[in-house]
Amino acid sequence: MPEVKISIGGKDFAVACQDGEEQYLHSAAAMLDREAQALVSQIGRMPEMRMLLMAGLMLADRTAAYEEKASVAEEKLARQERLLEQMKSAPAPEPTRIEVPVIPASVTDTLAELAARAEALAALAEEKSAS
């Protein structure tokens, strides 16, 4: 079991840990040290036990806030997943029917007749202008 030296609030400690967990211990000690340094800078020197207690409480407070945020996020995610499952299991909506109006044959015939008359008038106008 390796022994790791850590520094918290300007005080050195020797702590034993499991093989391979040294990095985690250093990371945790760094978090605790940041809190302890903040206390020392605000309050000044204090007994080691009180400094560690206060730093630990500050970290616990922050952790509780993160846990609450995580809980709220998990609840929101669960609601969204339930909604998604409801939407997946719901029957597909009926397709919207779009009707395109059909032009009656009488209108088409009338337009063709008008086009023929217009062409005849254009031809007549062309003959008169050429003469």
DSSP 17-56: --TT-HHHHHHHHHHHHHHHHHHHHHH----HHHHHHHHH
Q: Residue 84's pLDDT is what?
A: 96
Question: Which DSSP symbol is given to 16?
Answer: E
Q: Residue 80's pLDDT is what?
A: 98
Distance CA(17)–CA(6), nearest Å, equals 12
Q: Residue 5's pLDDT is what?
A: 94
- Indicate the length of the chain as a whole number: 131
3-state secondary structure of 1: coil
**∠111-115-116 over CA atoms, to 5°?**
120
Q: Residue 11's pLDDT is what?
A: 85
Taking CA atoms, 90 is separated from 31, 53, 81, 93, in Å, by 49, 55, 14, 9
Q: Residue 86's pLDDT is what?
A: 95
Q: Residue 58's pLDDT is what?
A: 92
Which residues, given as ranges, of the chain have pLDDT below 50?
none
Distance CA(14)–CA(3), nearest Å, equals 6
pTM of the model: 0.54
